[in-house]
Structure 1
Amino acid sequence: MKLKKLQNAEITTIYQERLVHDFIEDELKKLPVILKAVDDGIYECLGIYDDSEIIGYTFLVKQGMNYLVDYLAVYPKHRNKGLGGEIIRMLREYMSEAGLVILEVEDPAYTNDRDLKALQTRRIGFYKRNGCIDTGLKVRCFGVPFIILVLENSTIISNEKLWELYRSFYGAVFSMDIVEKNIECLGG
């Protein structure tokens, strides 16, 4: 498997054919926002390839030497085949010079749906098994409650500084007015 930087046409195709199905509407940035962030050099979109076939994607917000994994998904026919751990390893390698790599995982404490709670709990377990660390920071981002994780090789900082950095990722993509209204700290 390999990672390949995507061009705008490829990003558009993935957005229209996959991203809108892989993530709930509240988590989706509008396509023009993503493309502008790519053009501004603060957003990287990578395809995950097995030979010449795309099997997944990840979209990253970048600020200096720090990253936020905005979206990460494997195409449905390739899920549950053990590829996730390899993808996390590839991302760790791709961002080996990064100071901090932040991941958001839906917080199962905020749903009453048993199936959704089980899925969210499995996701957290997956990330922890693959070297991600729960920071204890909890946020609500555009209505979605998240637990904030970092990759194991990340520079550890206080949760106060982590919160500031997290907000700054969104401030790079959206106006501060939008950030103030839609990004809140729930604890940690």
Structure 2
Amino acid sequence: MELRPIPAADWADWYENELCTTFPDCECKPLADILSLAEAGRYEVLGLYDGPDLLGYAALWSAPDWPGCVLLDYLGVTAARRNSGLGGRLLALLSARLAGQAVLIIEAEAEDSGGPEEERPIRLRRLDFYRRNGCTPVYRSFNCGLVCQVFVLGPAPEDLEPVKAAHRAIYGPGRPDTVIDPAPGQVPEAPYWMK
């Protein structure tokens, strides 16, 4: 197995057949926006491959002024291969790839996210997955109309302010639906593509 870029020519297929079938609509930013970020050198989609077969993927988003932090925008394993340890393998490969270069920021829907109650067990399972695989909870955020628990892969840096600043910079000023470390009583907004 190896982690390598998914060819740009395959992104539309990845988006339609993997991303949009796995993540809810409120979390699937438009493909045109992903392509625009990639064109600006701020986005890459890596695949976990066994020969020619895609087993899983990790989409990474960065900001040029903050090279020391990268946001894990999406992490997924193809439907036929879920629950086989590949998600953990993907995180381990990302950790090795970014070692000494960048902090990996991860957002996962919080237990009290505001999402449907029937999805609570899935949220808890996802949060446990990140903890089991060496991720440290550091603060909360609003994203895509939901409350998220933010993790970093590995131990938390002593000073989280640069991580928060990088996290804000990755999203940029045009995303009022994204709030890093929200104040008590603040309420998340729907993402711009759902308005």
- Per the normalisation by structure 2, the TM-score is 0.84
User: Is the CA contact (8 Å cut-off) linking 1:67 and 1:101 kept in structure 2?
Assistant: yes
Q: Secondary structure at the match of 2:99?
A: coil
Aligned position for 1:65: 68
Aligned match for 2:159, one of 152, 157, 160: 157
* In 2: Cα distance, 1:51 partner to 1:17 partner: 19
Count of residue pairs the alignment pairs up = 180
Percent of matched pairs sharing the same residue: 28
Aligned position for 2:80: 77
User: Is the CA contact (8 Å cut-off) linking 2:49 and 2:55 kept in structure 1?
Assistant: yes
* In 2: Cα distance, 1:38 partner to 1:104 partner: 20
Aligned position for 1:166: 167
Aligned position for 1:145: 147
* In 2: Cα distance, 1:18 partner to 1:83 partner: 15
Structure with the bigger percentage of helix: 1
* In 2: Cα distance, 1:187 partner to 1:119 partner: 26
Could you list the per-position Cα deviations for residues 76-134 of structure 1 after superposition, in whole angstroms to 9, with x for gaps in the alignment?
A: 11001122221111111111233311000101113474541111111111111110001
Structure with the bigger percentage of strand: 1
Aligned match for 1:182, one of 177, 184, 192: 177
* In 2: Cα distance, 1:15 partner to 1:89 partner: 23
* In 2: Cα distance, 1:164 partner to 1:78 partner: 36
User: Is the CA contact (8 Å cut-off) linking 1:133 and 1:150 kept in structure 2?
Assistant: yes
Aligned match for 2:129, one of 126, 150, 163: 126
Aligned pairs for 1:37-48 (under 5 A) are: 37-48=37-48
Q: Secondary structure at the match of 2:62?
A: strand
Aligned position for 1:9: 9
User: Is the CA contact (8 Å cut-off) linking 1:139 and 1:187 kept in structure 2?
Assistant: no
Aligned position for 2:26: 26
Gaps of 5+ in 2: 185-195
User: Is the CA contact (8 Å cut-off) linking 1:105 and 1:123 kept in structure 2?
Assistant: yes
CA-atom RMSD, angstroms? Answer: 1.9
* In 1: Cα distance, 2:115 partner to 2:47 partner: 34
